[in-house]
Amino acid sequence: MQTRLGYTFQDAGLLQQALTHRSHSSLHNERLEFLGDSVLNCVVANILYERYTTIDEGDLSRLRANLVKQQSLFEIAQKLELSQFLRLGEGELKSGGFRRPSILADTLEAILGAIFLDGGFEPAAQAIRAFYIPILDTVDPQTLGKDAKTLLQEFLQSRKISLPLYNVVATHGAAHSQEFEIECQIPKLGIKLFGRGGSRRAGEQAAAKLALDAAQQALLKTPAAARKPKPRAAQLKLAGIATVQTDDDLDAGQATPAPAPKAANK
């Protein structure tokens, strides 16, 4: 474990405690988890602040929340193969606790707390950077942590396309375990897709994800020239002279005045 962390403990007992779940013994890792959580948030915030100099506070908070959430920590713990080092009680072992995301995520935070106590802030920060820099090298900060509905809305708005329409088309199953079937429509692109989920929100998210993929594909296949609106043309027949109006003329309510007809010679 120390080799995988890139850190050698002076007090190996701290690492052992960090790997110990409360089901195993009274000297468990919950207090270390509390400490590690704070160190993790501080270091990740610092990484984001240094790396993304033009991103505002709201987006920095979104990125940090996504990076330190349980699922992200669980994925890091899996890469470390942390489950094989856990110290669990018999009950947790039988119930598969070594695979449980919450236990693995909490243990990873406890390990960071243990490194902080054993060696100080800098070794803990180095370990966290080793976890997260490779992740940040592969993600888009503009989309990380945003749900499918938000991404779809932003995609359509950036192209001046009306927002999608969501409708519940059916519900399935018993009242206590209903599944919602949701329709997502983007009329301008001719898209109508369906998603399912255990709640209306989940169904909308599923439908939005499919619709976003379809919208991106549709616009990729459409030549740029075909997407540009064609200018409207109107003709005014004044004294036998045709005058063409462009979009700007029509929108402004102005037309190029036609020359007045010459008076007939008497």
For tokens 């994800």, the residue is: 209
Report, in angstroms and rounded to the nearest whole number, the Rg of the chain calculated over CA atoms.
Answer: 30
Which residue in 33, 92, 106, 109 is the catalytic one?
109
β strands within the chain, DSSP E: 165-172, 179-186, 191-197, 234-238, 241-245
Q: Give the sign of the dihedral formed by CA 221, CA 223, CA 229, CA 233.
A: negative
Q: Answer yes or no: 109 catalytic.
A: yes
User: Quick check: helix, strand or coil at residue 217?
Assistant: helix
Q: What are phi and psi of 34, to 5 degrees?
A: -60, -45
Where does 69-182 have alpha helices with state H? 70-79, 90-94, 101-119, 121-136, 148-158
Q: Answer yes or no: 147 catalytic.
A: no
Q: Do the beta carbons of residue 83 and residue 77 sit within 8 Å? A: yes
Vertex 156 angle, CA 154 and 157, to 5°:
65
Q: Do the beta carbons of residue 176 and residue 199 sit within 8 Å? A: no
Which residue in 37, 92, 106, 118 is the catalytic one?
37
- Token code pair at residue 80: 């470390």
* Residues identified as active-site: 37, 109
